[in-house]
Amino acid sequence: MWINEADGAFYGPKIDISVSDAMKRNFQCATQQLPKGFNLTYIAEDESKRERPVIIHRAVLGSVERMFAILFEQYKGKWPFWLSPRQAIVCPLSDKSQVYGQAVKELIDAAGYYVDIDSSDRTIQKKVREAQLAQYNYILVVGEEEVNTNQVKELIDAAGYYVDIDSSDRTIQKKVREAQLAQYNYILVVGEEEVNTKQVSVRVRDKQEHSVKSIPELLKHFKDETDAFH
């Protein structure tokens, strides 16, 4: 902060806030001004007196065009998520995952975020590359694995049980270990074999062994265990 004595406005003192762009150039954007020089007065409650008003002119962004020019240079098209016009895009791997991809888009859209979907028949590599060039903040790839994993979650959820899903790219060993540390009663692993057989591999939090069950068998097991305490 400094005093610029040669830059005083004719109407009174002011505070200017300068912003430097990506090229280290300074631009005055926000400003707060006290226009005393206009000699304005108003009649107070006591009509025999005239008072001087305190007027504060405040512009947070200053010139909107100037501010956007600075932001364009600063981010070079790679907008931060909160300001981005292209926050996310859903890229289904194939026709089999189009319906689920559309459902994902609608959920994100309903939450108030900007999201597109690439429903073309191009390869996933081309979809992802084009999304990267278009500067989407997040690129969401949806394939059969995501569809089937979500179906398992929805079935258990619909039966009235509390269930989470770990969609991270960590190894299955790390996922299982973290779930055990988080004290989940049951840890359900879904891989290609489970997808093909329509089953889930069931692990428990305090034992190493695991079993394989169909979803109806698993839900019956949940019900039996719950009923045992009623």
CA 16 to centroid of chain Cα atoms: 34
Question: Is residue 16 scored above 70 in pLDDT?
Answer: yes
Q: Write down all domains in the chain, each with its CATH number in brackets.
A: 5-75 (no CATH), 81-142 (3.40.50.800), 145-227 (3.40.50.800)
β-pairing, 210-214 with 199-204?
A: antiparallel
For residue 153, what are the contacts with CB-CB under 8 A and spacing of at least 6?
A: 163, 164, 165
Report the SS3 class of residue 201.
strand
Question: Is residue 1 scored above 60 in pLDDT?
Answer: no
**Average confidence score pLDDT of the chain:** 79
Q: Which pLDDT score, from 0 to 100, does residue 118 have?
A: 92
Mean pLDDT of 46-64: 73
E strand intervals along 37-165: 42-43, 50-51, 57-59, 88-92, 115-117, 138-142
For residues 12 and 84, the model is more confident at: 84
Q: For residue 68, give the amino acid letter.
A: F
3-12, 99-108, 178-187: lowest mean pLDDT where?
Answer: 3-12
pTM for this one? 0.50
